[in-house]
Chain A
C-alpha cells in the first residue's frame, strides 16, 4: 500500500463498478477514505453518484471490484452500525413528529453519549417544531429533521446523498459545520453534490464520477 497514512484507510474502494441489466452505470472508481477525511462525489445527473453511495451503504450488491473496511474485506455484519446513509428519501414517517422519528432511529441504531434528541433538534434549527407532524414541515425542515440523525447516531462513516438539497443558506452552513466537527473528531464522510460547495475545514477530496 502506497498510502502516506500509517493507519489502514477507513474505507478503500478498488475498481468498483455496477451493472444494471449488463449496462455499466459508472466507470470503475478507486479511492481511499481515511478517518478525518471528507470526500465530495461529483458528477453530472445520472453519473451514478447515488448508486455508488447505495452500494457503499450495502443497499445494492457490489457488482465488480472490492470494498475494504479498516484494512479488511468489508463484512456487512461487522460495520452496519458504523455507516450512516442519508438518501433522497429521508426515512421520516410523515404522521410522526421529528422527535418521534428520532426516537425510532436511536431505538434501532443506538445513541451517541451526551446528546439528547431535543438538543439535536434545537441544534439543527428545529426548536419549536419538535412535536409537529413531519407532514406539516416544509421541505427544508424535513431535511433538517433527517439531518438531526447525524448528530444523534453513533456512526463513523457518513454517506450523504445531496445533503444540501432544499436547505437555506444557514442550513447549508450548519451541514458544513456538522461535517467539520465530524471529521475533526475522527469520522469520515462521503458527500454527493453537483453544485460547488465551500468547506472551511481544509480542502476536501474529490471523487469524479463518469458514466
Chain B
C-alpha cells in the first residue's frame, strides 16, 4: 500500500478543480464579461468627463470586481454536494480544511484572477492614472482572496438550504464592506499622493487571519450540512 503525502493530495485536489473549470470555460468568461459591461456603461451614464471618471475609477473597478466574484460564489460547493464528491472528500484520510483550502484557491484562480488580469483595462477605460494602477492591483490581490475565503464560509453555512443565493448575498454584504473600504481607501490615497500602505496592511492582516480560519470554519460547516 502506497500512501501519498499531503502534497500529492493537495495537488490532486487543485488539479481536479482547475481541470473542471477548464472544461467549463464559458463559466469563467461570465464574470469577466459582466465586469467589462458594467464598467463600460459608467462613462455612458455619467458622461465622458475626465475628472469625474478619474475620481470614481478606483471605487467602480473594485466594486465591479467584487460583485462579479459574487456571481460565481454560490457554485463553489453545490456541484460537489450534488454528485457526492463532498462525501468522498469528507471521508478521505486527509485534513478536510486543507482540502477545502485547495478548493477555495482553485476557485480564486478561476474567478478572481481573470478579473484582476482585466482590471488595468477596466481602470484604463475610466482614465485611472497609470501611477495608481499598481496600488489598485495590489488592493485587488489582497481583497479578492479575502472575499473568496469569507464567501466560502458563508456558502458552506448555507449549503444545506435551497435557493441560498439571496441569503448568501445578504450575509456577505456586511463582510465585504470593510474590504471595500480599505481597498478603495488605498487607491484614493494613492490618487491624492498620500501614503497608501496602511489600508493595504489592514487588508493583508485580515487576509492572513482568513487564510487560517476560513477553511477550518468551512470544514465544520460542511460536516454539519452533510450530517442531516
Q: Is A71 an interface residue (CB 8 A)?
A: no
B87 and A89 form a contact (CB under 8 A) = yes
A108 and B83 form a contact (CB under 8 A) = no
A110 and B16 form a contact (CB under 8 A) = no
Task: Among B11, B19, B88, B89, find the residue whose CB has the most chain A CB atoms closer than 10 A.
Answer: B88
Total contacting residues, chain B, CB less than 8 A? 30
Q: List A89-127 residues whose CB lies under 8 Å from chain B.
A: 89-96, 100, 103-113
Q: List A60-96 residues whose CB lies under 8 Å from chain B.
A: 60-61, 80-81, 83-85, 87-96
Task: Among B19, B24, B85, B91, find the residue whose CB has the most chain A CB atoms closer than 10 A.
Answer: B91
Q: Is A33 an interface residue (CB 8 A)?
A: no
Q: Is B82 an interface residue (CB 8 A)?
A: yes
Q: Is B20 an interface residue (CB 8 A)?
A: yes
Contacts of A84 in B (CB 8 A): 91
Known interface pairs A85-B87, A89-B87, A105-B88. Does A100 touch B3 (Cβ–Cβ under 8 Å)? no
A109 and B19 form a contact (CB under 8 A) = no
A80 and B12 form a contact (CB under 8 A) = no
Contacts of A61 in B (CB 8 A): 227
A80 and B4 form a contact (CB under 8 A) = no
Q: List A30-61 residues whose CB lies under 8 Å from chain B.
A: 57-61
Within 8 Å by CB of B99, from A93, A108, A154, lies: A108
Within 8 Å by CB of A91, from B12, B85, B94, lies: B85
Contacts of A105 in B (CB 8 A): 88
Main secondary structure of the interface of B (DSSP, over half): helix
Min distance, Cβ B52 to any Cβ of chain A, angstroms: 45
Total contacting residues, chain A, CB less than 8 A? 34
Task: Among A83, A88, A109, find the residue whose CB has the most chain B CB atoms closer than 10 A.
Answer: A109
Q: Is B13 an interface residue (CB 8 A)?
A: yes
Contacts of A106 in B (CB 8 A): 4, 12
Docked complex Cα distance between A175 and B91 (Å): 22
A60 and B227 form a contact (CB under 8 A) = yes
B91 and A93 form a contact (CB under 8 A) = no
Using a CB–CB distance below 8 Å, which chain A residues touch chain B? Answer: 57-61, 80-81, 83-85, 87-96, 100, 103-113, 133, 154
- Can you name 19 extra interface pairs (CB under 8 A) apart from A59-B227, A104-B16, A112-B1? A57-B91, A59-B87, A80-B92, A85-B87, A85-B91, A89-B82, A89-B83, A89-B87, A92-B83, A95-B20, A95-B23, A96-B20, A104-B12, A107-B4, A108-B94, A109-B92, A110-B2, A110-B3, A113-B1
* Contacts A/B (CB < 8 Å), 23 sampled: A58-B90, A61-B227, A80-B91, A80-B93, A81-B3, A85-B88, A87-B84, A89-B82, A90-B83, A90-B84, A91-B83, A93-B83, A93-B85, A95-B19, A96-B16, A96-B23, A100-B16, A107-B11, A108-B88, A110-B1, A111-B1, A111-B4, A133-B23
